[in-house]
């Protein structure tokens, strides 16, 4: 009976990992799946497993971090205003514990790869259909390209980076040629999609992942060739791909000569981060922060002062958060809370050092958090939990 429950539990966890890229189109389904996983976990999780999970240093520090920010919110910032973000951070810890029941991480990695690949295929078909219908091959703006994808460009690119790392790990560690070839083809599909949607963050991470993997896995001759191909290919993409050059160089703006002025005009994060640091400087209690709800409220007030009116209305309509997880924690839970979070990341780093693949997904997550707040989104929480589980799992593939 126990084996049968575990089998169902494993399939549900695999489906949850597969479903991560599709959460924006069917959010309720992810909650139902997680509820079923939680019910089955009651029958599978024994005292020994629970003790093992709680004795993991990273999990303990994560729990301590969560306890601190809950107490801060409860006594200082108002737990009701912060409930949505606190729930997601707590959900991350719960998911890490639930996934830890699965002893073979490869099954969950395969499920996530399959989900990212299917999401990429759907996005590719949508883009091809758009080009055929409109004759327009310029789809670098979010208003055009994001409706064609299963999720936002930034997140789809990040999911593809993590899936690419999992594919590379499997390609180099599986000695069956047919299996290795399958992972290579999946990696190629994911790579093409990421380049086509022109996700700047994802392309930078892909270059980093490919170079670091080549340095670690290939012999000296193949390593040098591989690095040259990646670097030359990356530079060629930037300067020859019309969509990508318009995204990264703002080539469509012919009114401003300075790249800095183009960046200030077209990159919303410039104003978001500028306003965020203004809020931090105006805060009299920097050590414990303002709370997540108050931070967003003050950002909205800042957006009301943006000129011109069209840009102001766009910022208010999009209701942008800080778009940087570290700035978000600095404002919301203060210097002390951010220091606790950084301590957690440092501890996870020591667990990541065992394989180049874990290091790659770790640094990819850190880099991603400089441009997005994954703890604010359900699919962000799920992929963080998957990454932490992969890094912390004792039965992961060792090199």
Percent of the chain with pLDDT over 70: 88
pLDDT(395) > 90: no
Query: Residue 209's pLDDT is what?
Result: 93
Mean pLDDT lowest for which of 144-153, 186-195, 364-373? Answer: 144-153
Query: Residue 198's pLDDT is what?
Result: 65
State pLDDT tens for residues 250-273: 655 556 666 677 777 778 899 999
Query: Residue 298's pLDDT is what?
Result: 94
For the chain, the structural domain boundaries read 2-44+78-252+353-392
Q: How confident is the model at residue 397 (pLDDT cuts 50, 70, 90)?
A: very low
pLDDT(29) > 50: yes
CA–CA separation, 146 and 156 (whole Å) = 10
pLDDT(242) > 70: no
pTM, full prediction: 0.91
b/e 166-194 (16+ beta carbons within 10 angstroms → b):
bbbbbbbbbeeeeeeebbeebbebbbebb
pLDDT(118) > 70: yes
CA–CA separation, 160 and 196 (whole Å) = 12
CA–CA separation, 202 and 211 (whole Å) = 14
Q: Check residues 127 and 313 and name the one with the higher pLDDT.
A: 313
Mean pLDDT lowest for which of 86-95, 165-174, 241-250? Answer: 241-250
Query: Residue 255's pLDDT is what?
Result: 66
Query: Residue 253's pLDDT is what?
Result: 58
Question: Which of 378, 268, 286, 283 shows the shortest CA–CA distance to 322?
Answer: 268
Instruction: Give 63's contacts (C-beta < 8 A, 6+ positions apart).
Output: 54, 93
Query: Residue 388's pLDDT is what?
Result: 93
Query: Residue 62's pLDDT is what?
Result: 92
Contact present, 97 and 140 (Cβ < 8 Å): no
Contact present, 244 and 198 (Cβ < 8 Å): yes
State pLDDT tens for residues 343-375: 999 999 988 887 899 999 999 999 999 999 999
């Amino acid at each position: 009976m126990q084996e049968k429950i575990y089998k169902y539990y494993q399939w549900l966890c695999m489906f949850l990992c597969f479903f991560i890229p599709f959460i924006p189109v069917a959010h309720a389904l992810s909650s139902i799946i997680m509820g079923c996983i939680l019910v089955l976990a009651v029958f599978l999780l024994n005292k020994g497993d629970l003790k093992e999970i709680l004795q993991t240093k990273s999990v303990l520090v994560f729990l301590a971090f969560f306890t601190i920010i809950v107490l801060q919110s409860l006594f200082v910032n108002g737990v009701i205003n912060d409930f949505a973000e606190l729930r997601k951070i707590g959900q991350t810890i719960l998911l890490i514990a639930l996934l830890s029941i699965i002893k073979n991480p490869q099954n969950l990695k395969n499920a996530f790869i399959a989900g990212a690949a299917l999401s990429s295929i759907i996005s590719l078909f949508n883009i091809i259909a758009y080009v055929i219908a409109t004759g327009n091959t310029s789809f670098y703006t979010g208003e055009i390209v994001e409706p064609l994808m299963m999720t936002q460009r930034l997140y789809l690119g990040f999911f593809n980076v993590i899936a690419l790392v999992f594919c590379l790990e499997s390609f180099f560690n599986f000695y069956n040629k047919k299996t290795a070839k399958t992972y290579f083809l999946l990696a190629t599909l994911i790579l093409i999609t990421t380049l086509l949607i022109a996700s700047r963050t994802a392309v930078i991470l892909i270059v980093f992942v490919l170079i670091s993997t080549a340095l670690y896995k290939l012999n000296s001759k193949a390593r040098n060739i591989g690095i040259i191909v990646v670097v030359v290919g990356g530079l060629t993409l930037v300067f020859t791909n019309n969509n990508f050059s318009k995204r990264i160089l703002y080539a469509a703006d012919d009114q401003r000569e300075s790249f800095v002025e183009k960046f200030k005009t077209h990159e919303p994060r410039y104003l978001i981060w500028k306003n965020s640091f203004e809020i931090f400087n105006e805060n009299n209690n920097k050590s414990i922060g303002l709370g997540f709800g108050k931070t967003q409220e003050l950002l909205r007030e800042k957006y009301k002062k943006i000129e011109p009116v069209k840009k102001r209305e766009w910022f208010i309509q999009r209701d942008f958060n800080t778009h940087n997880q570290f700035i978000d924690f600095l404002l919301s839970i203060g210097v002390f809370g951010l220091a606790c979070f950084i301590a957690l990341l440092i501890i996870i780093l020591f667990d990541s050092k065992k394989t180049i693949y874990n290091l790659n997904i770790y640094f990819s997550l850190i880099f991603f958090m400089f441009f997005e707040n994954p703890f604010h989104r359900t699919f962000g929480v799920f992929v963080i939990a998957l990454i932490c589980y992969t890094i912390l799992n004792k039965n992961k593939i060792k090199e």
